[in-house]
Structure 1
Amino acid sequence: MAEETERGPVGGLLPFGVIDVAGPSMRPTLRDGDQVVVRYGARIRPGAVVVVRHPLRQDLLVVKRAAERRRGGWWLLSDNPLVTTDSREFGVVPDDLVLGRVLLRYWPRPRVLGSR
């Protein structure tokens, strides 16, 4: 899961924002409490870490890995194999719910995130 913060895109002019990561689903890549920089509207490729609106609860943002492109959207997976709150539970995520790509973790241990 992720939480939207007040540090999102400035007046909609900049395509970057900050997301606070909540929960264990992206361990070991990301941990609860990490803060990441998101590029909204970025091109998504398989293996990228992405931010999406949850397909069943659109008020909730989630951070997942884009596993593969499927008809109508993206198949998303958690990096933590013990957490199945991903496409195995909610299916393919439509393109319009995919908000952007996580570029880097800047707090507490800065690290650029690439594709697997």
Structure 2
Amino acid sequence: MSSGDTAEPGGRAAVPPLVTPWVLARVRGPSMTPTVRSGDRLLVRRAGPGRRVADGDVVLARFPARPGLLVVKRVRRAVPGGYWVEGDNPFVTDDSRAFGPAVVVGRVVARLWPRPGRLPRPQG
């Protein structure tokens, strides 16, 4: 699977969930730089009922307006219809600023490659 700014396990008409509980996502694009870079491999846990998503979490999300687009973004806040998500790179706006609220389908647990470890929390 590819992710990051975009990822692919194909989309359906509705916002589809992740198929398995754990997913390996490969980042593609600069929208989460410097936290996550193109080429990074991320371990993602499927989001679902009872799984907490907090402001500041890095997540895999889909936009109802573009259900085939799977993105890695940071949760800014809960809003009606889902979550407001944005990339860490302010110069790339393929996020809620362009597509509105997102549905979180998974939470990034760790970066597996090339710099293994947990992702840093946002500054400030």
Gap runs ≥5 in structure 2: 10-17
Distance in 2 between residues matched to 1:38 and 1:72, nearest whole Å: 22
Q: Secondary structure at the match of 2:68?
A: coil
Alignment match, 1:50: 59
Residue number in structure 2 paired with 1:21: 27
Question: Which residue identity does 2:72 align to in structure 1?
Answer: V
Counterpart secondary structure, 1:58? strand
Aligned residues: 107
Q: Is the 8 A contact 1:4 1:20 kept in 2?
A: no
Residue in structure 2 matched with residue 102 of structure 1 by the alignment? 108
Gaps of 5+ in 1: none
- RMSD over equivalenced CA pairs, Å: 1.8
Is 1:83 aligned to residue 87 of structure 2? no
Q: Could you tell me the percent identity over the aligned residues?
A: 47
Q: Which runs of 4+ in 1 moved over 6 A?
A: none
1:2, 1:19 within 8 Å by CA — same for their partners in 2?
no
C-alpha distance in structure 2 between counterparts of 1:31 and 1:88, whole Å: 21
- Report the alpha carbon displacement of residue 92 of structure 1 after superposing the two structures with TM: 1.4
Partners of 1:45 and 1:4 in 2: CA distance: 24
**TM-score, with structure 1 as normaliser:** 0.82
More helix by share: 1
